[in-house]
Structure 1
Amino acid sequence: APAGGGEPRHAVVVPLADEEPLRYHAWVAGRRAHVHERSGGRLGYLHVPDMQAPGWAQIHRDLRVEVTREGLVVDVRENRGGNTSQLVVEKLARRIVGWDLPRGMRPESYPQDAPRGPVVAVADEFSGSDGDIVNAAIRALGIGPVVGTRTWGGVIGIDSRYTLVDGTVVTQPKYAFWLQGAGWDVENHGVDPDVEIPMRPQDWAADEDPQLNEAIRLALEALERQPAKTPPGLPT
């Protein structure tokens, strides 16, 4: 029975089949808190774990809140690929040309979900396939610099339409990929970062993130050169 009296109650605990989602969201929350703290609240943080439905959902969990800050760090480390990089790049490439000022509410940028200031991407050797492509596109479009290590290097798409009698699947390389600035050479090489920052074993052991720290530094430096866009005051 409860210590303060009352009716006894029974708690039912349902164990998780997989704790990876909890650990992942805790990691994202930790990275975001670090970016907020180290930048004095000026920079937002987004992590894109893949270029599929889960990653598209993940970026929207916090997109509207994080882009209201002055700058944005977009983390695509360990991005598992897929086919939604065009949608992600489309969001990051938006440029504010107007503001909607509703009475008694926070101003909204036009277009919506657009970064107010600099964007810096973070990539690593586990950013692969469409995770390679998104970094090449960010560089080609001049959205911002890429910080980290050279990406995985596998952008030739496969077809998985042939199933054998034992249930296994045969894949064939089918979709070659050319990217501005890299040509055909992302395959078997990856995308080189603008600023190379390796993660050393001692960084992992100390829970340090020099890649993220460099992205924060670059974004704050860019803000000094070009302040973030801000909504106008109401007309008098």
Structure 2
Amino acid sequence: MWEMQGELGTSHCYEFGGDYRQSPNYKIGKLGIDYRYNARKKGYEIVRILKGDHWLSENRSPFMNPGMNVSEGWIIKAVNGIPVNKTTPPERLTLNLAGQQVQLSVTSPDGKEEKVVTVPTMKDESKARYRDWVEGNREYVHNASKGKLGYLHLPDMHKDGLIEFHRYFLAEVDYEGLIIDVRDNGGGSVSGLLLQKLARKRIGYDKTRWWDNNPYMDNAPMGPMVCITDEHAGSDGDIFSHSFKLLGLGKLIGKRTWGGVIGIWPRHWLVDGTITTQPEFSFWFKDVGWGVENYGTDPDIEVDIMPQDYVEGKDPQLDVAIKTCLAEIKKNPPLKPNFGKIPRKTLP
């Protein structure tokens, strides 16, 4: 059936579920850390503890829990009494222990303190890693632009993307420029809601007696914007990326998007539990017609991330976005209030 679906040559044409044999699923208990083997100390050194959303236990490293008192630089020597070595990392000893408690034998960086701590492993650490990545990018943009640029990332155009937008937008909108990052955007259906807010223009200010000056329109971006996209931004991520250009909101930077804007409505179930999807909603734009499907949208400035960039922790797409947005600020300075002499409104 999936071969027949493939003959259509469109995006979002799927067949999944049904009477398939389930693959083995071995859940590894995650510790929410990055580590490396330290041959001299014969253990795994904790080089980073994921902070995530530290108020949510499921979205942060268990090493952030109160009373743990284990920090970066400590050495993991054993898991549940079994020593680790170069070929036996901690994750090998937490196999099938996801969501359960394990005992870690750890020593301090100077070797003077040894103890055993009980750690509740994580079933999934992706949310913690995502939060650290976003916060790292946000801090990098703030520092690299000397406080002139804001940053937000949209993981999809579903619930999570809507939440992320409103989590950061009001905190970042009053910077002189704004970077919107839609790389790896999984699509959805809320791009229009977000673009409406980004398309607002500041045309004036409301000067108040007691509080700060309020821009009009409310929550409109202060200055220029740029958008970063890539080949993993698809569906409504394609639509957002192309619309950002089409509306003239700013430069699109990165790589050509995925190219899948024929939508679906999954609702056709077969007797064995299989569900099939058929192309039902095809997207047309006034400039390229049907051209985004099976092609994507081209960036204004193409920037690739090479394998060596990942290894070295570099993000050339973000660097170009910062440089481009700062240049746009010089060309088109943001609207800031210049009230001059305030008139007196007393009766003559």
What TM-score results when the alignment is normalised by the length of structure 1?
A: 0.91
CA distance in structure 2 between the aligned counterparts of 1:107 and 1:24, rounded to whole angstroms: 35
The aligned amino acid for 2:243 is: A
Instruction: Describe the SS at the equivalent of 1:74.
Output: strand
Aligned to 1:144: 250
Partner AA of 1:61 in structure 2: R
Q: Which residue of 2 aligns with 1:37?
A: 143
- CA deviation profile, 1:177-226 (whole Å, cap 9, x unmatched): 11232221111111100000011001111111110111111111011111
The alignment partner of 1:121 has SS state of: strand
**What is the CA deviation profile of residues 78-131 of structure 1, one whole-angstrom value per residue up to 9, with x for unaligned ones?**
000000000111111110122233344332222222111101000000000000
Residue 102 (structure 1) aligns with: 208
CA distance in 2, matches of 1:201, 1:113: 38
Q: Aligned residue for 2:342? A: 235
Residues of 1 paired with 2:300 and 2:263: CA distance?
26
Letter in 2 for 1:114: A
Q: Of 232, 236, 240, which aligns to 1:126? A: 232
- Helix, strand or coil for the counterpart of 1:109? strand
State the partner residue of 2:298: 192
Mean Cα deviation higher: 173-182 or 79-88: 173-182
3-state SS of paired residue (1:190): coil
The separation in 2 between residues aligned to 1:120 and 1:36, in whole angstroms, is 15
CA distance in 2, matches of 1:107, 1:181: 39
Query: Could you say which structure has the greater relative contact order, defined with CA pairs below 8 angstroms and 6 or more residues apart?
Result: 1
**1:76 corresponds to which of 182, 205, 217:** 182
4+ residue stretches of structure 1 with deviation over 3 A?
Answer: 11-16, 101-104
Provide the alpha-carbon RMSD of the alignment: 1.8
Q: Tell me, in whole angstroms, the C-alpha distance in 1 between the residues paired with 2:185 and 2:214.
A: 30
SS of equivalent residue, structure 2 residue 228: strand
Counterparts of residues 174-189 of structure 1 (less than 5 Å): 174-189=280-295
Q: Is 1:226 matched up with 2:332?
A: yes
Q: Which residue of 1 aligns with 2:219?
A: 113
User: How many percent of aligned residue pairs carry the same amino acid?
Assistant: 46
Shift of 1:152: 0.5
Instruction: Say how many residue pairs are matched.
Output: 227
Paired with 2:213 and 2:272, the residues of 1 have a C-alpha distance of 59
Task: Compare 37-46 and 105-114 and name the one that shifted more.
Answer: 105-114
TM-score, normalization: structure 2?
0.62
Match of 2:205, SS state, is: strand
Partner of 2:312: 206
Q: 1:145 to 1:180 in 2, by over 3 A?
A: farther
SS in structure 2 at match of 1:173: coil
Q: Which amino acid aligns with 1:166?
A: D
What residue is the counterpart of 2:49 in the other structure? none
Q: Aligned in 2, Cα 1:125/1:101: closer, same or farther, shift over 3 Å?
A: same
CA distance, structure 2, for counterparts of residue 83 and residue 232 of structure 1: 40
